[in-house]
Amino acid sequence: MSSKFIPFMKKTATILFILSFTVGIAIGQTNFYQELADSALVLTRQKVTYDPAYRVIAYPDGDVPADKGVCTDVIIRAYRKLGIDLQKEVHEDMKKNFDKYPKNWGLNRPDKNIDHRRVPNLMTFFTRHGTVKKITGDPEDYQPGDIVCWDLGRGVTHIGIMSRKKSSDRHRYLVVHNIGGGQVLADCLFGYKIIGHFRYEKMN
């Protein structure tokens, strides 16, 4: 074997290793967000009455009754199916960084019963620990597993998660959300003013 050929083989092997590692990461990320989108879709099979009442819940892994919930509970429950407890993640971050979170509710300390169930808090958490994606009018920019937040007007915010199901015209992915009619699948991506677009995967 030529002495010149050995360094070439080593270089090629290194490139192939890097490529395989990069592709492996990409596939892992893709699978996570597809699983997240599918876990949200499963929630649409569950009958839920919209109920924004404050409730004292367990910690960690606390949840309101399974037949109750609001928009944020869709996100919380979808992540919990993949072993990620947003109640705990948000509470732990707020304990250390309370000044970074909105003060819309007049609180002077975190409340593990409700903080993670408020859209502005989830937006802050995803901004701090996730990936902030651009807000556009192009449906191709909104992929399965993406978290989208909207302004409904008069200070009311809303949140949902992109599924892997397409709209009837095949141009957009449908959204899993709860805007008052339970945990449903809807073609509503551009139905309201988008104010947040995120991806979040907990990195251990």
CA–CA distance, 8 with 158 (Å, rounded to integer): 56
Q: Which pair of tokens denotes residue 131?
A: 């990936």
Strand duo 49-50 + 68-69: pairing: parallel
Mean pLDDT of 1-23: 46
Predicted confidence band of residue 18 (pLDDT cuts 50, 70, 90): very low
Q: Over pLDDT 90: what percentage of the chain?
A: 84
Average pLDDT rounded to a whole number, residues 29-57: 95
User: Residue 72: its pLDDT value, please?
Assistant: 98
- The whole-model pTM stands at 0.85
Residue pair 113/56 in contact (Cβ under 8 Å)? The answer is: yes
- By the 8 A CB rule, do 160 and 116 touch? no
Whether 44 has a pLDDT exceeding 70, the answer reads yes
Mean pLDDT computed over 4-17: 46
Confidence (pLDDT) at 2: 54
